Amino acid sequence: MCGRYASSRSPEDLAEEFEVLDPRLERAIPPSWNVAPTDEVYAVMERAPRDEDGRRAEEPVRQLRALRWGLVPSWAKDASIGSRMINARMETVAEKPAFRRAFAARRCIVPADGYFEWYETQRRTAKGKPVKQPFFITSGDGSSLAMAGLYEIWRDPAKPEDAADRFRWTCTILTTEATDDLGRIHDRMPLLVEPERRAEWLDPRTPADDLPGLLGLLRPAQQTGLAAYPVSTAVGNVANNGPELVEPIPLDGDDDGDPQGTLL
């Protein structure tokens, strides 16, 4: 799964990297090296703008928006369900009621510096529980990870029609089974969208009925040349936040060999 990640780039840098033409941000989101579920995050999407009469243009435009991490389906009675919807499994995303409508027309990219996963070592605590070591998984070339996502727009029934905040924009990150080196750290990993496939993935007109073709636009993280290395356990506390959380630390190997910092 993907349950924590880092996002420290400015909206201007993200707009340039992801070729955004229409930033829709009221303010910049502060840099975070410990993004947690329900936090405000950046997402890249394509939407057809409306004119003054409310009519949509034919051509979608690439936008950068601030969303809450944890998808709230349009049919949800309240927003609390979002905290359990931070990831969507590739294997079932087109079938699950919570995700299938968003998968059909509201696909997005969630940019990240990298993400964290916890590896279960052979060491034990005083109570006999396995010691878990966090790893930071990031690109080998310093570019952003373009994590495949979905977004939804939920109407809060408790808000009046003229309330500026009556609509909540939320997102989720698509994951798949992890194998080989990344599978040793965690059994799930995010799916990434490579630059040459981003336009087709983001375009809401790309038909979702060709499931193999649509999912074929995505790549498992381990296939894109990532670096993984151990970092401080301080990242386990959401109160901790700073660039030191993504700094590599030494790690002694287990009897069966902990994964070390490496290019995957």
Catalytic residue of the set 46, 108, 117, 152? 117
Residue 158, pLDDT score:
84
Residue 49, pLDDT score:
81
Gap between the Cα atoms of 216 and 214, Å rounded:
5
Residue 254, pLDDT score:
47
Catalytic residue of the set 2, 46, 108, 171? 2
H or E, element range at 242: none
Q: Which domains does the chain have, with CATH numbers?
A: 4-113+145-220 (3.90.1680.10)
Residue 161, pLDDT score:
85
Residue 100, pLDDT score:
94
117 is catalytic: yes
40 is catalytic: no
DSSP string, 72-88: --TT-SSGGGGGG-SEE
Q: What are 17's two structure tokens?
A: 């990297």
Residues 6+ apart with CB under 8 A from 31: 7, 8, 9
Q: Other CB atoms closer than 10 Å to residue 245's CB: what's the count? A: 22
Residue 141, pLDDT score:
87
Query: Which one-letter DSSP state was computed for residue 28?
Result: P
Residue 241, pLDDT score:
97
Residue 244, pLDDT score:
97
Main-chain phi, psi angles of 240, to 5 degrees: -90, 135
Residue 252, pLDDT score:
61
Nearest residue to 18 via CA among 109, 107, 105 = 109
Main-chain phi, psi angles of 111, to 5 degrees: -75, 145
pTM over 0.75: yes
Residue 1, pLDDT score:
58
What is each CA distance from 22 to 11, 60, 151, 194, in whole angstroms? Answer: 12, 10, 17, 21
Residue 263, pLDDT score:
42
Residue 259, pLDDT score:
47
Give the three-state DSSP class for 202.
helix
pLDDT average per 10 residues of sequence, the chain (264 residues): 90 97 94 97 93 78 97 94 95 95 96 92 83 91 95 91 89 87 68 96 92 92 81 95 95 51 48
User: Tokens 């969303």 label which residue?
Assistant: 67
